[in-house]
Amino acid sequence: DAGVIQSPRHEVTEMGQEVTLRCKPISGHNSLFWYRQTMMRGLELLIYFNNNVPIDDSGMPEDRFSAKMPNASFSTLKIQPSEPRDSAVYFCASSRVPGYTFGSGTRLTVV
Amino acid sequence: RKEVEQDPGPFNVPEGATVAFNCTYSNSASQSFFWYRQDCRKEPKLLMSVYSSGNEDGRFTAQLNRASQYISLLIRDSKLSDSATYLCVVNNAGNMLTFGGGTRLMVKP
């Protein structure tokens, strides 16, 4: 089992650029979550998919953030345009109840 | 008030010591509870579930007090490798987990 795979591991981009983060969940897991982690705010849930359908996106900070899950094996989180305050580690996690398995995260730096 | 609250620490303890972390949660309807461990610059990983009757896994003991909405984690005979951040986690509905801010533990030789 390869676990939850995220790419890229690190991303440095300039303010105003579009950023796309990718996630491949564990096969057979029907729930997928995007979290953001910062020192100040800890782990925050951004959006949650169940069977590829977005269930709760109340944590998405603003319209600059969007997430898709076109099929059971792939999800993207897009930020457009990016801002320095978006700098954080973004984790994807997948689950088949109970408990989550996290990917290694994408460390995003917006300069 | 945060939904899941933890003392951020750090807790600095010598090897071999016993250390306890506490956590409180605000939603009385919370259904299940976990402790996750996160090493520096790594992803969180499930350490153990927390059951109403209390449960033990080797040197680790977890307790739940539903009446007080309080969860604890006890680590006996601390090892250097126990140094990490410990996240208290609550499942309120469906499959959504809410994470506390974490408690940092540093075990010194």
- The predicted-structure confidence for B42-86, as pLDDT tens digits, reads as follows 999 999 999 888 899 999 999 999 999 999 999 999 999 999 999
The answer, for A98 touching chain B at a CB cutoff of 8 Å, is yes
Do residues A78 and A61 make contact, with C-beta atoms less than 8 angstroms apart? no
Averaged pLDDT for residues A60-75: 94
pLDDT at site A70: 96
CB contacts < 8 A, A to B, total 42
Q: Which residue of B has its CA nearest to A38?
A: B101
A5-to-A23, A30, A45, A103 alpha-carbon distances in Å: 6, 15, 18, 6
CB contact under 8 A, B46 and A91: no
Distance from CA of A10 to the nearest CA of B (A): 12
Q: Which residue of A has its CA nearest to B48?
A: A99
Averaged pLDDT for residues B5-21: 95
Q: Which residue of B has its CA nearest to A91?
A: B43
pLDDT at site A99: 74
pLDDT band, very low/low/confident/very high, at B31 (cuts 50, 70, 90): confident
- The predicted-structure confidence for A2-47, as pLDDT tens digits, reads as follows 899 999 999 999 999 999 999 999 999 999 999 999 988 889 999 9
Mean pLDDT score across all residues of chain A: 94
For the residues of chain B, what is the DSSP string, one character each? Answer: --SEEE----EEEETT--EEEEEEES-TT--EEEEEEE-TTS-EEEEEEE-TT-EEETTEEEEEETTTTEEEEEE-S--GGG-EEEEEEEEEETTEEEE---EEEEEE-
pLDDT band, very low/low/confident/very high, at A1 (cuts 50, 70, 90): low
